[in-house]
Amino acid sequence: MQVVERNGARIPAIGLGTSGLHGQTCARIVEQALKLGYRHIDTAQAYENEREVGEGLRASGVKRDELFVTTKIWTTHFAPHDLERSAKESLVKLRLHEVDLLLLHWPNPQVPLQETLGALAHVKDIGLARHIGVSNFTVALIEEAVSNCAEPLVCDQVEYHPYLDQAKVLEACARNGMTLVAYSPIAKGRIRSDETLKEIGRAHGKTAAQICLRWLLQQNLCAIPRTSRIERLSENIDIFDFVLSADEMAQVFGLGIANSRLTDFGFAPKWD
Ligand SMILES: NC(=O)c1ccc[n+]([C@@H]2O[C@H](COP(=O)([O-])OP(=O)(O)OC[C@H]3O[C@@H](n4cnc5c(N)ncnc54)[C@H](OP(=O)(O)O)[C@@H]3O)[C@@H](O)[C@H]2O)c1
């Protein structure tokens, strides 16, 4: 598994997204993913599956120090005491002593960012998280967060796939030594029938989803595709044995510029 190194963190480039996975399906998919070679699992308080993710981690038998586990603090827990308390609750559910990466899930203008970042850095200092970062932060918020946080932020987790141009957020991450972690990296499955991706895939013997994930990987990013199907777990990490040419990369970039659109959240955040 390729690793992305940023601000002291070594993050496996492909992780398993788990939103919408619950109960035994969730535990089983996490276990299978780890048995197939995944080492990075993405969950969140808001997904209400941290307990099952923890079950899957343990059932896999993979050693703790080989795993990279991310969770995210929900926005209603951003007041400093709430943040520390809820981080501890997540660890109890996951049955871990620390997570590898703890993120602020979305910006919350109701709580001063500086206070929340102080609490996030404190949680890292007391050993509950090895690394910290943010999610759904715009360029302006990234800059504000970096200049107000005593500890390095390693990533901004945002929606990114061939139909969404994130050039400005990518630049802001690079400027600050952070990586972009791409969520909804296969556009919630929509790229499966994309003619450009399928055409490029035919040349490499790969699917549209694999071309899409390879395009992200070649930008030296992390991506966290989600699947509830065991056969797709393998498909989504079988992307390390081929290379897209500069021309193929450009064709996929062209899809984003041509498809500027509303996100799945039904509105267009002003990322820049
Ligand atoms: N930070 C945030 O605010 C935020 C927001 C959204 C998501 N996320 C994270 O990012 C993860 C991934 O995002 P996502 O779940 O929104 O979307 P996604 O990973 O882009 O797409 C998931 C969808 O694609 C299908 N799929 C998976 N592999 C496929 C393949 N090889 N070919 C065709 N279809 C495939 C899945 O169906 P099957 O299950 O049937 O395979 C599922 O319907 C989430 O699970 C979560 O961990 C974070």
pLDDT digits (tens, 9 = 90+) for 217-226: 999 999 999 9
Which of 48, 43, 122, 114 lies closest to 81, judged by CA?
122
Distance 127 CA to ligand 1 centre (A): 30
Residue 145, Cβ neighbours under 10 Å: how many?
24
**pLDDT, tens digit, 9 for 90 and up, residues 98-135:** 999 999 999 999 999 999 999 999 999 999 999 999 99
> In the prediction, which pLDDT does 264 show?
43
Of the residues 47, 160, 163, 183, only one is catalytic, namely 47
How many angstroms separate the CA atoms of 108 and 94, rounded?
Answer: 25
> In the prediction, which pLDDT does 261 show?
47
Task: Confirm whether 183 is a catalytic residue.
Answer: no
**pLDDT, tens digit, 9 for 90 and up, residues 151-209:** 999 999 999 999 999 999 999 999 999 999 999 999 999 999 999 999 999 999 999 99
Q: Which residues partner with 131 through β-bridges?
A: 101
Q: What is the mean pLDDT of the chain?
A: 94
Distance 5 CA to ligand 1 centre (A): 24
pLDDT at residue 266 is higher than 50: no
Which of 10, 75, 72, 70 lies closest to 44, judged by CA?
72
pLDDT at residue 33 is higher than 70: yes
Longest Cα pair distance anywhere in the chain, in angstroms? 54
Confirm or reject: Cβ of 181 under 6 Å from ligand 1. Answer: no
Average pLDDT for 248-256: 92
> In the prediction, which pLDDT does 265 show?
41
Integer angstrom CA distances of residue 137 from 28, 111, 119, 146, 270: 32, 15, 17, 11, 10
> What whole-number percentage of the chain has pLDDT above 90?
93
State which of 14, 21, 75, 183 you would mutate to test the pocket of ligand 1, scoring each by most atoms of that ligand within 8 A of its C-beta: 183
Helix axes 208-217, 246-258, angle to 10 degrees: 100
Q: Which atom of ligand 1 is nearest to the CA of 232?
A: 31
> In the prediction, which pLDDT does 241 show?
97
Decide: residue 150, CB within 10 A, 0-12 exposed, 13-18 middle, 19+ buried: exposed
Q: Which atom of ligand 1 is nearest to the CA of 210?
A: 31
> In the prediction, which pLDDT does 258 show?
58
Residues 6+ away with beta carbon under 8 Å from 174: none
How many angstroms separate the CA atoms of 184 and 216, rounded?
Answer: 12
Residues 6+ away with beta carbon under 8 Å from 188: 264
pLDDT at residue 256 is higher than 80: no
Beta strands 9-12; 3-6: pairing state:
antiparallel
Ligand 1, atom 10, residue with closest C-alpha? 183
Element (H, E) at 251: helix 246-258
Element (H, E) at 27: helix 23-36
Confirm or reject: Cβ of 152 under 6 Å from ligand 1. Answer: no
Ligand 1, atom 48, residue with closest C-alpha? 183
> In the prediction, which pLDDT does 1 show?
81
